[in-house]
Amino acid sequence: MDLINNLILGFGTAFTLQNLLYAFGGAVLGTLIGVLPGLGPVATIAMLLPSIYSLDATPALIMLAGIYYGAQYGGSTTAILINVPGESSSVVTAIDGYQMARQGRAGAALAAAGLGSFFAGCVGTVVIAAFAPPLTELAFKFGPAEYFSLMVLGLIGAVVLASGSLVKAIAMILLGLLLGQINTDVISGTPRFSFDIPELTDGINFVVIAMGIFGFGEIIANLGQPAEHREVFTKSVKGLWPTKQDFHDAWPAVLRGTTLGSVLGVLPGGGALLSSFAAYTLEKKLSKHPEKFGKGAIQGVAGPESANNAGAQTSFIPMLTLGIPPNAVMALMVGAMTIKGIQPGPQVMTSNPELFWGLIASMWVGNLMLVILNLPLIGIWIKLLTVPYRFLFPAIVVFCCIGTYTLNNNNFDVFMTAAFAVVGYIFYKLSCEPAPLLLGFILGPMMEENLRRALLLSRGDWSTFLSRPLSAGLLIAAALMVVVVMLPSIKNKREEAFQDAD
Amino acid sequence: MKIKSQRDFWSGLMFVVVGVAFAWGSAVNYSFGSSARPGPAYFPFGLGILLALLGAVVLFKALTIESEGGQPVGAFAWKPLLIVVGSIVLFGFALPRLGMVVTLPLLITCVSFASDEFHWRDALLSSVVLTIGSWGIFVWGLNLVIPVWPTFLGG
């Protein structure tokens, strides 16, 4: 049994003392930053990137993965307790979770979210271990034309399923792709768009963009709004353990959420966000008492939370097997791999089996740690929620500043980050969603290389993308997605679905 | 002509300007090659044109399709914007020369002015805690190379 052997290798790697410590450290840090209101997982990971600069590749990725689940989980905690979803995928958790908290059942909501996520995490890990190897094999059959088409599909998929204007989102991808063109052309060795600045000939570092736009841009936007006064349910968290009735109500929702999340997570652009929305809708449709939703139904917490955790797990599949990030968090992961000198793609599984299987096994370990960390220690996290923003944001600024400086021990990156902070604020003002830009930026150089190689091979014939069946299929799928979303009936539904969330 | 959505109008304009700039910049400076041998300008030129076209679509929609309340861009939060960005730039200049022990309190105090709830006591408290904390995490814990003391002290 290959699967068993692989998992044994993985757990062997994950259970070394060092890696356990890093998984634990990542989960703690992620939760810590994740529960701070107003910081999503992308900003959290960007901010904590300096912590991996001095690590080896395997512990670095294990730690980042831990940070990701931690941030995800911390986001649900804030959603339930103060109705501020730390990230978009816990938007739906806030609907019923917050109502439960107001009725004094915050403990049950937190437990449902925590145990549901843990179950989903276990299933997600098995799904990755089972599906990654066959997909990797498929990926080896891909030529440059197929890769290019796959990236087109991935990028389109990522924006079709997100909220907001489709045209603007595609334009943001293109903007990201163009920013990725500021580098030295690999084929001819010509420095492009560098304005004779030596630092720019190596390209802009993704950390600079992520911290500038997601870290600083968000801070400026938050500071520009008048300080809110939130109601925090700190004293009412008693009776953490759910009642028998709660268990009875929640477990089918957990099962359905996990299944839905595992499937949707693999899709480009799917991941946690789409999974939680879909799960909430499903639970509401199936429930015998749909009128209870929005008023504190435990299924409305358990379903989406399991789904978003399962989706978060399985969204690693395209990143690990194809090297193509399906969402902004995975784009950061790909960036982190490149910093560590690992070229993401199907070869990672064979060239770095310990990294690959160790990371997968550590996902399970990380999920277990989160349950242990969160349920008994919830009191500590709640205290953090009450830290005023005037103490928080200087800390974030310090972390981001040191992070960009230590990237290359060079203050040029710091100045670039300052510039992207302004850009990020402009995007916020113009309601341009920045996540697609990051995806485009990460994929830009890979996309160009594959396009040019495909054209070289076909002697300049563009029809190669349509005459090769796999490539044609991928492109048609991408085109279909755009067309379907543009259909008036679906368009209205899509807008409605995202409005529900607001 | 009346602008129906301010935000879309300006974002469309931004896309068009950036797209044209990249397309023009790559066409003028780098060799385009041919489809059989794409040069360094091939991909960015195409992307720039596509971006400009999409920007034009956004612009057109902003001028023709009614939106709720005209989607105004709203006032820029100049104070936090300038203070935060200025503090980052200051940090960039100061760190290699003055080291962490001077730069971080400077950064924290400056950036704290961006908040409406500024208090000297809080800013000083943050400075002390964060400077010691950063030294502990980054220099002692993670072994990152960061100048700690000002260069004139010979550190």
- How far apart CA A42 and CA A46 sit, in angstroms, is 6
Residue B155 confidence (pLDDT):
47
Q: How large is the angle between the packed helices B78-112 and A411-429, nearest 10 degrees?
A: 140
pLDDT tens by residue, B14-28: 999 999 999 998 888
Please give the Cα distance from A460 to A266 (Å, whole number): 33
Please provide residue A344's backbone torsions phi and psi, each rounded to the nearest 5 degrees: -65, 145
Distance CA(A336)–CA(A206), nearest Å, equals 9
Separation between Cα atoms, residue A375 and residue A76, nearest integer Å: 13
Q: What is the mean pLDDT of residues A224-244?
A: 61
C-alpha distance from B1 to closest chain A C-alpha (Å): 20
- Residue pair A222/A390 in contact (Cβ under 8 Å)? The answer is no
Six-digit token string for B47: 């992307």
Closest CA to A390 of B121, B134, B106, B122: B122
Q: Percentage of chain A with pLDDT > 70?
A: 90
A327: helix, coil or strand? coil
Give mean pLDDT, residues B87-101. 89
A497/A4 Cα distance (integer angstroms):
41
The alpha-carbon gap from B149 to the nearest alpha carbon of chain A, in Å, equals: 15
Cβ pair B138:A50 closer than 8 A = yes
Pair of tokens at residue B78: 């100049």
Place of tokens 């502990």: B136
Q: What is the pLDDT of residue A38?
A: 62
Tell which residue, A98, A128, A125, has the closest CA to residue A113.
Answer: A98
What's chain B's length in residues?
155
Contact A167 B84 (CB under 8 A): no
Q: Is A34 left (phi over 0), alpha (psi -120 to 50) or beta?
A: alpha
Report the pLDDT value the prediction gives residue A501, as an integer from 0 to 100. Answer: 47
- Chain B touched by A229 (CB under 8 Å): no
Q: How far is B80 from chain A (nearest CA, A)?
A: 6
B58–A394 CB contact, under 8 Å: no
3-state secondary structure of A191: strand
State the Cα–Cα distance between residues B25 and B45, nearest whole angstrom.
8
Instruction: Please report, to the nearest 10 degrees, the dihedral formed by the alpha carbons of residues B12, B15, B16, B19 taken in order.
Output: -170
With 70 as the cut, is the pLDDT of residue A240 above it? Answer: no
Mean pLDDT across the stretch A349-377?
83
Confidence (pLDDT) at A502: 42
Closest B-chain CA to A399: B134
Provide the shortest C-alpha distance from residue A43 to chain B (in Å). Answer: 16
**Average predicted confidence (pLDDT) for chain B:** 85
> pLDDT tens for residues A402-421?
888 888 888 899 999 999 99
Interface contact flag, B108 A187, Cβ < 8 Å: no
Residue among B4, B58, B115, B140 with most chain A CBs within 10 A, to mutate:
B115
Q: Give the mutation candidate from B85, B102, B104 for the A interface (greatest A CB count, under 10 A).
A: B85
Look at residue A362 and tell me whether its pLDDT is greater than 80: yes
Comparing CB atoms, the residue among B29, B51, B84 nearest residue A219 is B84
CB contact under 8 A, B138 and A402: yes
Q: Give the integer Cα–Cα distance in Å for A388 and A315.
A: 34
**Per-residue pLDDT for A490 more than 90?**
no
Considering only CA atoms, give the Rg of chain A.
22
Distance between CA atoms of A222 and B117, rounded to whole angstroms?
13
- Per mean pLDDT, which range of A120-124, A217-221, A234-238, A325-329 is the poorest? A234-238
pTM as predicted: 0.83
Mean of all residue pLDDT scores within chain A: 81
B38 forms beta bridges with B33
Q: What is the full DSSP assignment across B9-59?
A: HHHHHHHHHHHHHHHHHHHHHS--B-SSSB-TTHHHHHHHHHHHHHHHHHH
Q: Can you point out the beta strands (E) in A154-201?
A: none
How far is the C-alpha of A60 from the C-alpha of A63, rounded, in Å? 5
Cβ-Cβ contacts under 8 Å, A399 against chain B: 134
Shortest Cα distance, chain A CAs vs residue B27, angstroms: 11
More confident residue, A382 or A232: A382
Residue A192 domain boundaries? 2-501
- Spatial separation of the C-alpha atoms in residues A171 and B83, rounded to whole Å: 30
pLDDT of residue B52: 94
Q: How far apart are CA B145 and CA A473, in angstroms?
A: 50
Chain B residues in contact with A192 by the CB 8 A cut-off are 26, 29-30, 40, 44
Residues of chain B neighbouring A451 (CB-CB closer than 8 A)? 38, 43
Q: Which of B31, B80, B116 is nearest residue A220 as measured by Cβ atoms?
A: B80
Gap between the Cα atoms of A113 and A72, Å rounded = 11
Contacts of B37 in chain A (CB under 8 A): 456, 460
Q: State how many domains chain A has.
A: 1
Q: Would you call A175 and B30 a contact, using CB atoms and an 8 Å cutoff?
A: no
Pick the residue from chain B with its C-alpha nearest to A393: B112
Residues from chain A contacting residue B114 (CB–CB below 8 Å): 220, 223, 393
Task: Read off the pLDDT of each residue in A202-206 and give the average, rounded to a whole number.
Answer: 83
Tokens, residue B83: 């203070």
* Choice among A86-95, A245-254, A463-472 with the minimum mean pLDDT: A86-95
Check CB contact of A429 with chain B, cutoff 8 Å.
yes
Which chain B residue is nearest to residue A417, measuring alpha carbons?
A: B88
DSSP state of A90: G
Model ipTM value: 0.90
CB contact under 8 A, A223 and B50: no
Contact between residue A446 and residue A323 where contact means Cβ atoms under 8 Å apart: yes
From the list B29, B44, B89, which residue is nearest A415 (CB)?
Answer: B89
Could you write out the DSSP letters of every residue in A29-88?
Answer: HHHHHHTSTT--HHHHHHHHGGGGTTS-HHHHHHHHHHHHHHHHHHHHHHHHHHS--SSG
Confidence of residue A499 (pLDDT cuts 50, 70, 90): low
How confident is the model over A265-280, as pLDDT tens digits? 777 666 667 778 888 8
Token pair for A239:
């009776």
Q: Which of B142, B143, B148 to probe by mutation at the A interface, max A CB count within 10 Å?
A: B142
Would an 8 Å CB–CB cutoff place A418 in contact with chain B?
yes
Residue A452 CA to residue A473 CA, distance in Å, equals 20
d(C-alpha A397, C-alpha B12), whole Å:
31
Q: What is the CA radius of gyration of chain B?
A: 24
Average the pLDDT over each of A126-140, B43-57, B97-111 and give the range with the smallest value: A126-140
How remote is the C-alpha of B15 from its chain's centroid? 17
What does the pLDDT average to over A287-303? Answer: 82
Tell me how far apart the alpha carbons of residues A253 and A203 are, in angstroms, rounded to a whole number.
46
Q: State which residue of chain B sits closest to A432, comparing Cα positions.
A: B11
Q: Are A443 and A180 in contact (CB under 8 A)?
A: yes
Q: What is residue A88's predicted lDDT score, i.e. its pLDDT? A: 67
Nearest to A359 by CA among A3, A50, A6, A17: A6
pLDDT per position as a tens digit, A128-170: 888 888 888 887 888 888 888 888 888 888 777 666 788 888 9
Q: Does A491 touch chain B (CB under 8 A)?
A: no
